[in-house]
Amino acid sequence: MISSLRNRVVQNASKCIAQTACNIQGTPTVLAYHRPSSYQDAFGRSLPDRSCARGLVGSLCSSRRSFMSEGGAGTGEGNHKAPEQENASGTPGEEKAAGAAEDEQGKLVEKLMAENKELKDKVLYTLAEMENVRTIARRDAASAKQFALQSFAKQLLDVADNLNRALASVPKEALEEGGEAGGKEGGGSSLLATLVEGVAMTDAQLQKVFAANQIVQYGKPGDKFDPHMHDALFEYDEEGREGGSVGQVLKTGYTLNGRVIRPAQVGTVKKAV
């Protein structure tokens, strides 16, 4: 009983293996089964040799492996080529969507480039403004340093004018006569000469202080008239002088570091018609 059951199992296994090989190859194959040599069991019945059954199963497995090794490469290439062909032959809807995506990306790139240009212009404008601010600040600082004494100097100009008027109020003849009289008699004329000399020394010292602080006096008869440096109060005829020149100086002018802090008040000579 056990032997017959074993025989049926071996036969069914052989048939299944043969059918599987046929399905794998894709063509119907008729499996020729030859009854192998048998041996007698205890009851005298012949049984198939188990080595023959194992050999049949091994041959079928070998044929399956060879089929897979030969046909697998072609199947793999087909599997690899199929996606490429599928991608190459896209549907019109997919192509349209891809084109729309590219257009959207192009618009986005153009927008970003425009924003980049705008931001770059703003940065350059800001840098230029900052440089202008620094330049103006440096110029204002230098100007404040150079002309810090302008207000004080303008107030001292009246003192210098009064000293000049004091010197101009004493005629030279009186000083000469006073000097001669003082040498003979030692009267008050010598005191006048000493006073005038002191005023002259004070004026000279004040002019030195002005020069040390870049305050320069200008304005003499015969100078060429400059509307930026002179105030023409009147015009008159005078022979021997060039027309348009300074004939008389009523009040001298002053400059501080090259800037006019007070123009000279003058009378000009008329030009010949």
**Ramachandran bin of 251, using left for φ above 0, alpha for ψ from -120 to 50, beta for the remaining angles:** beta
260: domain CATH number? 2.30.22.10
Strands of the sheet with 264-269, listed across from one edge: 230-236, 264-269, 246-251
Q: Does residue 254 fall inside a structural domain?
A: yes
Domain tally, the chain = 1
CA distances from 147 to 135, 159, 210, 223, 263 (A): 18, 20, 13, 26, 16
Please report where in the chains the tokens 């800001």 appear, as a residue.
126
Tokens found for residue 137: 């600040």
Q: Does residue 100 fall inside a structural domain?
A: no
Q: Does residue 114 fall inside a structural domain?
A: no
pLDDT at 124: 94
Q: Does residue 34 fall inside a structural domain?
A: no
pTM for this structure? 0.49
SS3 content of the chain, % helix, strand, coil (to 5): 65, 15, 20
pLDDT in tens, 216-247: 999 999 899 999 999 999 999 888 888 889 99
Domain of 248 in residue numbering reads as 214-272
Q: Does residue 264 fall inside a structural domain?
A: yes
Q: Does residue 261 fall inside a structural domain?
A: yes
Q: Does residue 219 fall inside a structural domain?
A: yes
pLDDT in tens, 163-211: 988 988 888 777 776 655 555 454 556 788 888 899 999 999 999 999 9
The percent of residues above 70 in pLDDT, for the chain, comes to 62
pLDDT in tens, 11-45: 666 666 666 655 555 544 444 444 444 444 444 55
Q: Does residue 163 fall inside a structural domain?
A: no
pLDDT band at 271 (very low <50, low <70, confident <90, very high): confident
